[in-house]
Amino acid sequence: MNKYSMFQKAELSFEVVMLLIAGLVLLEAGILLFPVSQGILPYYEDGLYGLFLILFSLQIIILGKTPFGDLIRSKLLLSAGTAIAATGVATCFIPGLLGHVPRYMLFICFGLGGGALLVQLFIHKDKYRTWSEYGGIFRHLIAGCTAVYLLSMLIGLLIIRQEILNTQITAVIILLYGCAVIYLACILQKIYRLYPQAEKPFEGGVKLGADKAMILLMSIFMVLLGLLLIPVSLGLLPFSASAQLGLLMFLFAIQMMALGSTPVGPFPRTRLMILLGFLFASLGIVSCIVPGILVFHLTILVGTLNIFGGIITLSKIFPLFIKRSKETKNTAPSILLKLYAAQFTMGLLSVLFGISMFAGDIISGLIVGAVLASNGGVLLYMLHILMTIDSMKERMATEAI
């Protein structure tokens, strides 16, 4: 196969994917701030802040990478990452719900975190001094890290003190930050390709891979959205439908780029899949930052994807569910049967959610909220089953030795 083929397998680590996505968010935000500063486009600040918080939470949950450095993935760290994710989701959905809390959190992550990482870069024995001795590509790594950390500190300052610079200069700084982040991602990708041992495996007592972390994040998304739709439907809270759709597209994009998982099923993680992920992410980012501009189009896209994805899941799982049910007969359901039941329920709820996207004026917000909250609950249950299955496999492997 041609090495430039769009169907060639794409070898991107999760860390590189997250940096590319973060760089894309920064570049789009910087570009959009120019028409925003001229009053041409509306601007939803909470949508942008929510996206950043979710990006930080994913790095914490999956990689153990905090804004202040790498830590062993513990239950406490996982809980902190989950709390940040929940804050990001709520910030996106409900304008002004958390007041200045998201801004302060991002100041800590960008400003204080960037400063801490910059200090570690020069005092840690395995970083600046070691990389300088290696030379070559590692000198670019030093330059990339330094630029990212310095600009991160500046962005943190601008978040907490927006009046320091005007919107257009802020947009230029954000664009520079986005370029620096993408540059760092490219450098890391090249290093991981040349020196595979440089990519650290997931460490810690909590074994939660990227696929399961995305299930956790999607469950948080669904449960919070479902619960928040109840007071929204009663007129007690404002709601950003644009950010809801944008965030869903954003999460779809991360799954596609990191795992090859799409709303209609898993596919090989090829270059084409990466490009589609960038497209989904771009649409989601715009929808989160600029309210109302893509609501109609994304409603159709998300609704269609959920309906077809749910139907495909049902068509695959139903025969397996029936077969397994006959095998167990009157005995207690096996763990595999529970997994099939959860997946079948997920498929059904996905179809219902997709239908609700097209029938929003007919179906009550309370019903939609209940469907979404149930969807999130089933996702959490499925995550529990998957982790149980992994534990059983490890135990069996240990006993076989």
Number of CB atoms found within 10 A of residue 125's CB? 7
Q: Residue 272 is encoded by which pair of tokens?
A: 């084409």
pLDDT given for residue 268 in this prediction? 81
- CB contact at 8 A, 324 and 334: yes
17, 192 Cβ separation under 8 angstroms: no
> Where are the extended beta strands (E) located within 142-215?
none
The two tokens of residue 124 are: 């840690």
Give me the sign of the Cα torsion angle 267, 268, 269, 272. negative
Q: Pick from 17, 341, 51, 73: which is nearest to 221 by CA?
A: 51
Closest CA to 250 of 189, 300, 298, 184: 298
- Work out the angle at residue 186's Cα, subtended by the Cα atoms of residues 180 and 190, and round it to the nearest 5 degrees: 145
Instruction: Using only the alpha carbons of the chain, give its radius of gyration.
Output: 22
Q: What is the pLDDT of residue 154?
A: 96
Backbone angles phi, psi at 239, to 5 degrees: -155, 140
Looking up tokens 């595979």 gives 196
- CA 179 to chain centroid, in Å, comes to 20
How far is residue 63's CA from residue 204's CA, in Å, rounded to a whole number? 10
Q: Give the Cβ contact number of residue 399 at 10 Å.
A: 7
pLDDT in 10s for each residue of the chain, 401 residues: 455 567 777 778 888 989 999 999 999 999 999 999 999 999 999 999 999 999 999 888 888 889 998 887 788 888 898 899 999 999 998 998 899 999 999 999 999 999 999 999 999 888 888 899 888 899 999 999 999 999 999 999 999 988 888 989 999 999 999 999 999 999 999 998 888 776 665 555 566 677 787 888 888 888 888 888 888 888 888 988 899 899 889 988 988 888 888 888 788 888 888 899 999 999 999 999 999 889 899 999 988 998 998 898 888 887 766 666 666 554 445 777 788 888 888 889 888 888 888 876 666 667 878 888 888 888 888 888 888 887 777 777 666 65
User: Residue 69: in which H helix or E strand, if any?
Assistant: strand 69-70
Provide the pLDDT for residue 358.
84
Please tell me the distance from the alpha carbon of residue 276 to that of residue 299, in angstroms, as a whole number. 18
